[in-house]
Amino acid sequence: MVKVCDDYLKLPGSYLFSTIGKKVNEFSVANPDKKIIRLGIGDVTRPLTPTIIKALHDAVDEMAVAETFRGYAPDLGYDFLRSAIAKNDYADRGCDIKDDEIFVSDGAKSDSGNIQEIFSKDCKIAVCDPVYPVYVDSNVMSGRAGSYVEKEGRFDKVIYMPCTKDTNFAPEIPDENPDIIYLCFPNNPTGATVPKSELQKWVDYANKIGAVIIYDAAYEAYISEDDVPHSIYECEGARTCAIELRSFSKNAGFTGVRLGFTVIPKDIEFDGVKLHALWARRHGTKYNGAPYIVQKAGEAVYSPEGKKEIRGLVDYYMRNASYILEGLKKAGYTVSGGVNAPYIWLKTPDKMTSWDFFDYLLNEVNVVGTPGAGFGPSGEGYFRLTAFGTYENTVEAVDRITKL
Ligand code: MLT
């Protein structure tokens, strides 16, 4: 008889954003006359820009002609995209990353969930708390996280690094040494960042103890302050310890198009094995490459026109972010984030739990956010709003919340 993978059974409840989606749908069916404003999941609302649309159309036309038709994409990505990434995201920022250290994929969510496969089951992971749930959940599924301790809201083999207002929502070096350290800056969910000097400490620490950092930089395009690093490879020594994950979802609006990439420098080696070679083997076996049409759209993101348009998208969402930040501040809420990230992190009023505040906002003013507790125990008593709505809806949501 078949036995299921019992590691999956250790996961409490369903995926955070599925739970929220279900709750909102139920509310919507019961209250069909209410206009719900969704500032929960970080999904974009602006359409793809003209340069991207043209690149998509042109690539579709190429697929209609025998001479330019393409079948399987190269499994690690087309050269035209890998070299555009290496130049624009890395060389232009003074980072030494080669084209062939870039692995093109269908997005940072899958890469951040899959990357743990190349490490031993015995590796100990450290995560920020609160944290993007995919890092922990994917390690639970693969049997690396131990058992769930319900009353603590934690897995017993995971090192949680609390990111609270006392730490400026940044992690501190843990007492116990991990093997794999997940970092995400600008941070999802808190919107916090760290200066380059602070990130350098993590790189030095990882190199010293022989750990690897999985650095999620999906929100890099939202950085507005000078001292905030755009890539971990701005730090000295990162080539021997850091993997970086990037996405086209949040900067270029590709949440429904799907494109991202992972960088693994060839200098990262443990026990004589290069992680680059392992990921290439995994990619080649389990993945057939992002579609040509989508990779052409990705290339267009780096054209001069594309860059200008993408800047416009980011500016649009950041205008929403400051509207939420300022509006809630004026109304007496304790808020942070929203300066280098499209997320605003607020303390729930009157000591409400995160989920109570979620229900309260949904029922009273029909606004959806994300309960901080869904991101980990230190998120309890906090709530996340995204800046990815339309400007009009954002203004209306802040208006409704501040009148409560
Ligand atoms: C979020 O809301 O945290 C993100 O949209 C989730 C994701 O990017 O997968």
Domain positions in the chain are 12-46+307-402, 53-304
Probe target for ligand 1 pocket from 38, 41, 114, 375, with the most ligand atoms within 8 Å of CB: 41
The Å distance, Cα 38 to ligand 1 centre, comes to 13
The Å distance, Cα 1 to ligand 1 centre, comes to 37
What are the backbone angles phi and psi of residue 154, rounded to the nearest 5°?
-135, 160
Question: Vertex 71, ends 113 and 117: CA angle to 5°?
Answer: 20
Is the bond into 186 cis (omega within 30 degrees of 0)?
yes
Whether 365 contacts 290, CB under 8 Å:
no
The DSSP annotation for 45-69 comes to -SPPPHHHHHHHHHHHHHHTSTTT-
Which residue has the least CA distance to atom 9 on ligand 1? 109
Q: CA 144, CA 142: separation in Å to the nearest integer? A: 6
- What mean pLDDT is predicted for residues 187-215? 98
pLDDT of residue 72: 95
Q: Which amino acid appears at position 29 of this protein?
A: V
What pLDDT digit, counting tens, does each position of 68-105 carry? 999 999 989 999 999 999 999 999 999 999 999 999 99
The Å distance, Cα 42 to ligand 1 centre, comes to 5
Q: Bridge partners of 184?
A: 216
- What mean pLDDT is predicted for residues 149-154? 92
The alpha carbon of residue 73 and the mean position of all alpha carbons in its chain are separated, in whole angstroms, by 25
Whether residue 14 has pLDDT greater than 90: no
Whether 281 contacts 274, CB under 8 Å:
no
pLDDT of residue 15: 85
Give the nearest ligand 1 atom to 134 CA. 9
Q: Which of 260, 268, 138 is nearest to 203 (CA)?
A: 268
Decide: pTM greater than 0.85.
Answer: yes
79 by Cβ neighbours in 10 Å (0-12 / 13-18 / 19+) ranks as exposed
pLDDT of residue 26: 96
pLDDT of residue 75: 86
Q: CA 109, CA 133: separation in Å to the nearest integer? A: 10
| Token pair 């995926």 in the structure block, residue | 15
Whether residue 6 has pLDDT greater than 90: yes
Count the Cβ atoms, other than its own, within 10 Å of residue 341: 32
Pocket of ligand 1 (CB under 6 A): 41-43, 109, 132, 188
Whether 161 contacts 174, CB under 8 Å:
yes
Angle, helices 16-30 vs 354-365, to 10°: value is: 30
Give the nearest ligand 1 atom to 249 CA. 8
Whether 395 contacts 328, CB under 8 Å:
no
| Token pair 């490490």 in the structure block, residue | 119
Burial 234-244 (b: 16+ CB within 10 A, else e): bbeebbebbbb
Whether residue 61 has pLDDT greater than 90: yes
Q: CA 376, CA 16: separation in Å to the nearest integer? A: 11
pLDDT confidence band for 364 (50 / 70 / 90): very high
Handedness of CA 57, 63, 64, 69 (dihedral sign): positive
The Å distance, Cα 285 to ligand 1 centre, comes to 27
N-to-C CA span, the chain: 56
Which CATH number is 12-46+307-402 given?
3.90.1150.10
pLDDT confidence band for 13 (50 / 70 / 90): confident
Q: CA 121, CA 6: separation in Å to the nearest integer? A: 15
DSSP state for residue 102 in the 8-state scheme = E
Whether 138 contacts 112, CB under 8 Å:
yes
CATH 3.30.70.580 fits 53-304, yes or no: no
What pLDDT digit, counting tens, does each position of 240-283 carry? 999 999 999 999 999 999 999 999 999 999 999 999 999 999 99
The Å distance, Cα 134 to ligand 1 centre, comes to 9
